[in-house]
Chain A
Amino acid sequence: MTEVRAAVPIQFDDPAQQREAAALGMWVFLAAEIVFFGGALVCYAAAGWVHGREFALASNDSNLVLGAVNTGVLLTSSWTMALAVHAGRAARRRRLLLFLGGTALLGTVFLVLKGLEYREDWLHQLVPGRSFARSPVAQLYFTFYFILTGIHALHLIVGIGLMAALAVLAARTREPLSGLNLFENAGLYWHFVDIVWIFLFPLLYLRGRHG
């Protein structure tokens, strides 16, 4: 993905076939991702089924404000991502670069806020391990909290890298951008990572805060 070729790769007959293959490939990859996150969520759900009350109590120690702000940040990034895809399709290079950059920036803001949250958890001895301050069941909740938000953050880092790579590509290439569906595919990935958070936020933060 570091260079743009003038012609389609040898295995394809025409650009339409390449686009179709790339789009389908991304969807199939996302299907695999759903099973990956799904496996972790199923474990969380099963543990929560057994330890409902303790999990709800433990979840009240998560930082609701930072979590809610981050939800807003990520949703906004999906909006800029959608605009970037639109700009790519319309081959408007400056707008495209602007929105790719904006998306990457919002993703970074999310990670910074998440990092602050992790730091707070560390200071409150909520990180599982020897120094964990609460009961084993609370530790189980925070284990899931760190695993789920951790793999989500890893995906987001990949997404930010993807935005950077696409921005470099869009800045360098002299070919018309509308011929490729790289931006659509990156958008699919970004929105997926976003949707994962839409599940994580209520499951992890709001568990004991309703009713």
Chain B
Amino acid sequence: MNGIAARSENYLNVDYRVRSWLSTTDHKRIGVLYLLSLTFFFLVGGVFAVLMRLELLTPAGDLVQPDTYNKLFTMHGIVMVFFFLVPSIPAVFGNFLLPLMIGAKDVAFPRLNLASWYIFMLGGLFTLGAILTGGVDTGWTFYPPYSSVYAHTRVMSAAAGVFIMGFSSILTGINFIVTTHTMRAPGLTWMRLPLFVWSLYATAVILVLGTPALTIALSLIGVERLFGVGIFNPALGGDPLLFQHLFWFYSHPAVYVMILPGMGVQSEIVCHFARMRPYGYKFIAGASLAIAGLGFLVWGHHMFVSGQSAYASMIFSILTFLVAIPSAVKVFAWTATFYRGSISYDTPMLYAFSFIGLFTIGGLTGLFLGSLAVDVHVHDTYFVVAHFHYIMVGGMVMSFLGAMHYWWPKMTGRMYSEAWGRLSALIVFVGFNLTFFPQFVLGYLGMPRRYHAYPSEFQVLHVMSTAGASILGVGFLLPLGYLLWSLKYGPRAGSNPWNLNSLEWQTPSPPPPHNFKETPVIVDEPYGYPVKEGA
């Protein structure tokens, strides 16, 4: 069988020319293009993080100027949020897997899909241009009137980059929604969809309905900056809170864009590597939609100390507590899925275990922040920084790495070294906690975020955090090494190395250009364990 797989045509060997990659409409190749681009942006964003952690090693501001530090955290945020986290799992694994998982030959609009990558890269170029010509220092949130009147950095170019990138999000969202509705194989009912598809669908809804608010908000910032008018400038009759409302109307749901696909990956890994049906399939699927819906109603919790109406704050606080319910439903469902499962401790599963613990901590501290009085105490401190890194890195990056290891054999046809995989998963887990757990303590003790210098009593915790970041960095670089190594030297994976029965494993690895030789007919859910012998 391996011999046949090696000779047969697949999406990689069908044409080796660079041009064939740049003009491809194959969703798998577009996923790979995104993977390469996002890895680049992740490293760029990582460089800024390294510089910040180095500066914070000592209480005095001795490595960079205060203004430079402002640029570092701004560019770390912009690059990581808009050019890694938002597109990460949807654009890479969503693109690659959605048609495979629903038995389709491609997404509904393949050319639009390629266009989304080009738009993404154009936005990336603008942002890189802003970075290389001096950087931007507004914070990733672009709050006016600082961003529109007072900042003398590359605000326009950076905002243009994010603005452009938004269109790629919208196109991806439209493609996923339409593909899920119209391209499912015969017999693949909604209740037989893999849970990853449900989470991608919920993500796509947010991308389509949230991103345009960011688009218009950034446009208005641009108009205000170019023409000197005062939409958000109180000196000219405008209102800065208006921008914050618009911005968070996108950016809070975007937080769920940055976690829902991770939850989808999580559901896949937990079920398949515990060889169990998901506990409460409908609840997990429904929770994705509930998170997407409720996620649009909680943006005001970013503005508790902004001077918005106290009644608005109370309502946003209550809604924030509500959105925790579907998130918790998922955590309990994954945990219950393990019960009596046949659990294997392969690398993807190690990342899934990390996710459950870290996401729970990130989620629960989110409830602290959603409580009005506690938020006043820890607002704009390292507590917030730690909280969202537990979600963004502890949740999304963990599941990104889990997904990478889980589907690597499908994408490349090769197996990586399991020993190295487990080692790096362990290093990432230890490094992550050492980096960010001390930040909870720092924040609670009163260390504000976005400062390059601090009182000396905070130094021990900051040194711990920097040490953890170094370990985390090693953990992130290791996969880059052994995964690339496996491309040439890894053993051939065969079509179904994990011996699973979901649809993407029923076609050769790497898959042929149009995924399946014949359109599959689905007769059962993807989690019908135990696997039949010889499947």
Q: Which residues of A contact B (CB under 8 A)?
A: 9-13, 17, 20-21, 24-25, 28-29, 31-33, 35-40, 42-43, 46-47, 50-51, 128-130, 136-137, 139-140, 143-144, 147, 151
Interface pairs (28), CB distance under 8 Å: A10-B105, A10-B514, A11-B105, A11-B107, A21-B108, A21-B179, A24-B182, A25-B109, A28-B177, A29-B170, A32-B208, A32-B209, A33-B212, A36-B216, A37-B216, A39-B212, A43-B220, A43-B246, A46-B242, A47-B237, A129-B227, A136-B235, A140-B231, A140-B237, A143-B230, A143-B231, A147-B223, A151-B219
B230 touching A136, Cβ below 8 Å: yes
Given contacts A32-B211, A39-B213, A140-B229, 13 further A-B contacts (CB under 8 A): A10-B106, A21-B181, A28-B173, A29-B174, A31-B208, A32-B170, A32-B209, A32-B212, A39-B212, A42-B246, A51-B237, A140-B230, A143-B229
Name the contact of B220 in the complex, choosing from A24, A37, A147 (C-beta under 8 A). A147
Q: Which 4 pairs, one residue from A and one from B, show the smallest C-beta to C-beta distance?
A: A36-B212, A39-B216, A11-B106, A35-B212
B210 at the interface (CB under 8 A from A): yes
B227 touching A143, Cβ below 8 Å: yes
A35 touching B227, Cβ below 8 Å: no
What separation, in Å, do the CA atoms of A128 and B175 have in the docked complex?
39
- Given A20-B182, A24-B178, A50-B239, do A129 and B223 touch, yes or no (CB 8 Å)? no
B229 touching A11, Cβ below 8 Å: no
What separation, in Å, do the CA atoms of A140 and B228 have in the docked complex?
11
Please name all residues of chain B whose beta carbon is closer than 8 Å to the beta carbon of A140 when the two chains form the complex: 229-231, 236-238
Q: Which residues of B contact A (CB under 8 A)?
A: 99, 104-110, 170, 173-175, 177-179, 181-183, 208-213, 215-217, 219-220, 223, 227-231, 235-239, 242, 245-246, 249, 514, 519
What separation, in Å, do the CA atoms of A151 and B236 have in the docked complex?
23
Please name all residues of chain A whose beta carbon is closer than 8 Å to the beta carbon of B237 when the two chains form the complex: 47, 50-51, 136-137, 139-140
What separation, in Å, do the CA atoms of A10 and B512 have in the docked complex?
14
A47 touching B107, Cβ below 8 Å: no
Q: Majority SS of interface residues in chain A?
A: helix
Q: Which residue of A lies closest to B108 (CB)?
A: A21
Please name all residues of chain A whose beta carbon is closer than 8 Å to the beta carbon of B228 when the two chains form the complex: 129-130
CB distance from B216 to the nearest CB of A (A): 4
CB distance from B80 to the nearest CB of A (A): 24
- Given A21-B178, A32-B209, do A13 and B519 touch, yes or no (CB 8 Å)? yes
Name the contact of A35 in the complex, choosing from B174, B175, B213, B230 (C-beta under 8 A). B213
Name the contact of B229 in the complex, choosing from A33, A46, A50, A128 (C-beta under 8 A). A128
- Given A21-B182, A136-B236, do A28 and B208 touch, yes or no (CB 8 Å)? yes
B231 touching A43, Cβ below 8 Å: yes
Please name all residues of chain A whose beta carbon is closer than 8 Å to the beta carbon of B181 when the two chains form the complex: 20-21, 24
Please name all residues of chain B whose beta carbon is closer than 8 Å to the beta carbon of A21 when the two chains form the complex: 108-109, 178-179, 181-183
Q: Which residue of B lies closest to A144 (CB)?
A: B231
CB distance from A116 to the nearest CB of B (A): 22
- Given A39-B246, A140-B230, do A25 and B178 touch, yes or no (CB 8 Å)? yes
What separation, in Å, do the CA atoms of A37 and B215 have in the docked complex?
10
Please name all residues of chain B whose beta carbon is closer than 8 Å to the beta carbon of A13 when the two chains form the complex: 519
CB distance from B173 to the nearest CB of A (A): 8
What separation, in Å, do the CA atoms of A41 and B179 have in the docked complex?
31
Q: Which residue of A lies closest to B226 (CB)?
A: A129
What separation, in Å, do the CA atoms of A1 and B177 have in the docked complex?
21
Q: Which residue of A lies closest to B235 (CB)?
A: A136
What separation, in Å, do the CA atoms of A9 and B220 have in the docked complex?
39
A139 touching B229, Cβ below 8 Å: yes
B230 touching A139, Cβ below 8 Å: yes
Please name all residues of chain B whose beta carbon is closer than 8 Å to the beta carbon of A10 when the two chains form the complex: 105-106, 514
A47 touching B239, Cβ below 8 Å: yes
Please name all residues of chain A whose beta carbon is closer than 8 Å to the beta carbon of B175 when the two chains form the complex: 25
Name the contact of B209 in the complex, choosing from A31, A42, A46, A137 (C-beta under 8 A). A31
CB distance from B359 to the nearest CB of A (A): 28
CB distance from A20 to the nearest CB of B (A): 5
What separation, in Å, do the CA atoms of A140 and B109 have in the docked complex?
41
Q: Which residue of A lies closest to B177 (CB)?
A: A28
Please name all residues of chain A whose beta carbon is closer than 8 Å to the beta carbon of B217 when the two chains form the complex: 39
Q: Which residue of A lies closest to B214 (CB)?
A: A39
Please name all residues of chain B whose beta carbon is closer than 8 Å to the beta carbon of A24 when the two chains form the complex: 177-178, 181-182
CB distance from A210 to the nearest CB of B (A): 23
What separation, in Å, do the CA atoms of A136 and B519 have in the docked complex?
63
What separation, in Å, do the CA atoms of A35 and B209 have in the docked complex?
6
What separation, in Å, do the CA atoms of A13 and B228 have in the docked complex?
54
CB distance from A57 to the nearest CB of B (A): 13
What separation, in Å, do the CA atoms of A47 and B234 have in the docked complex?
11
Please name all residues of chain B whose beta carbon is closer than 8 Å to the beta carbon of A33 when the two chains form the complex: 212
A11 touching B108, Cβ below 8 Å: yes
CB distance from A26 to the nearest CB of B (A): 9
What separation, in Å, do the CA atoms of A129 and B72 have in the docked complex?
33
Please name all residues of chain B whose beta carbon is closer than 8 Å to the beta carbon of A46 when the two chains form the complex: 239, 242
What separation, in Å, do the CA atoms of A43 and B52 have in the docked complex?
36
What separation, in Å, do the CA atoms of A46 and B241 have in the docked complex?
10
Please name all residues of chain A whose beta carbon is closer than 8 Å to the beta carbon of B230 when the two chains form the complex: 136, 139-140, 143
CB distance from A12 to the nearest CB of B (A): 8
Please name all residues of chain B whose beta carbon is closer than 8 Å to the beta carbon of A37 when the two chains form the complex: 216
CB distance from B43 to the nearest CB of A (A): 31
Instruction: Give the most central of A12, A35, A51, A140: most B CB within 10 Å.
Output: A35
Instruction: Give the most central of B105, B173, B215, B229: most A CB within 10 Å.
Output: B229
What separation, in Å, do the CA atoms of A129 and B226 have in the docked complex?
9
What separation, in Å, do the CA atoms of A147 and B208 have in the docked complex?
22
What separation, in Å, do the CA atoms of A34 and B179 have in the docked complex?
22
CB distance from B301 to the nearest CB of A (A): 19
CB distance from A117 to the nearest CB of B (A): 19
What separation, in Å, do the CA atoms of A42 and B231 have in the docked complex?
12
